[in-house]
Chain A
Amino acid sequence: MIFFCEDCGEKNLLTPDQLISGKAVFRCSACGYMNAYAFETDRAPDVEPADVLINHLKSFPEIIGSFLFDCTAGVLTNYMPALLKTRDLEFLGKTLFQNFSIFYSLYPDTDEMALIISGKNMILKMITRDIALIIAAKTFPLSGPVQDQLTALVSMGMSHKEPSK
């Protein structure tokens, strides 16, 4: 999550452990000023740190695109190719999420699902109880560095993964 220094205005990328009781606590990377200020919580802590990592996924050549999907709110963050409209992603996310939920009811230790289609793969990775990251990739399984990114994403204090029915 990006926070601005109160003193010099520099952007600082914070990890979840720097967000303490609704406060962003960090030393500015540019001027060294010690910041400690309150921020809006709402839904942001779940989504915004993830957004940084999801954005980084785009740099891997095997990744075509990705989006975060909430089972009730729909598409949260979209890094898919522009030709896919939001309603296409809503349908894709809803159907993949439904598939995963059906399977999860019998195999609750499952944490990933991949739909293998000619020429591309749609991979669903549960991030929280209600939120999944959906990735369009040229290959499956994903390479080690991409898997590491996903592991980091899931471990961002988002341990409860049971999807809603």
Chain B
Amino acid sequence: MISREQAVQIGRLSGVDQYIFVAPRGNIIAQDIQNPDKTAELVLSCGQNSLTLAKNKFQSLVFSKKNEPFFFIFPVGNCYLGVIKSKNVDAATLTDNIINFLKEI
């Protein structure tokens, strides 16, 4: 499982506005996000549902408004990472940054 020290580094990545790391039982490993408790439930439920559908091919779950992606959920081992994108960064850049970071830890 990812450590808290590793998890907080997500907040320093380019394109990350807010983030939350959620453990398999729903406890928050690290966060810098509004409404952390409700967001943790949401990230865990959506992450687990997506894993049910996609199994080990699950890469991310992306929510958009007006054709603009803004919220991302990534599986990280058996944990889930929720990220709100900064407005000045495109979705592909953010995704690349997150995936590269996760590969390194």
Contacts and interface: CB of A to CB of B under 8 A. Distances in A.
B89 interface: no
Contacts of B39: 106
Interface stretch (B2-10, B12-20, B21-29, B57-65): B57-65
Q: Chain B interface residue count: which class?
A: 20 to 34
Contacts of A110: 63-65, 71
Contacts of A103: 42, 46, 63, 71
A113 B59 contact: no
A112 B52 CA distance: 20
Given A95-B53, A99-B50, A103-B42, A117 B65 contact: no
A102 B67 contact: no
Given A99-B49, A141-B67, A119 B61 contact: no
Q: Interface residues of A toward B: which range?
A: 20 to 34
Nearest to A151: B67
B91 interface: yes
A107 B61 contact: no
- Secondary structure of the A contact surface, majority rule: mixed
B103 interface: no
B69 interface: yes
Contacts of A34: none
A116 B59 contact: yes
Contacts of B65: 107, 109-112
A118 B59 CA distance: 7
Nearest to A105: B42
Given A118-B57, A141-B91, A106 B49 contact: no
Interface in B48-105: 49-50, 52-54, 57-67, 69, 71, 91
A99 B57 CA distance: 17
Contact of B57 (A106, A112, A117): A117
B54 A102 contact: no
B57 to A, nearest CB: 4
A83 B49 CA distance: 23
A114 B71 CA distance: 11
A115 B67 contact: no
A115 B53 contact: yes
Interface string A54-93: 0000000000000000000000000000000000000010
A141 B65 CA distance: 12
B16 to A, nearest CB: 17
Given A92-B53, A95-B53, A141-B91, A117 B67 contact: no
A103 B44 CA distance: 11
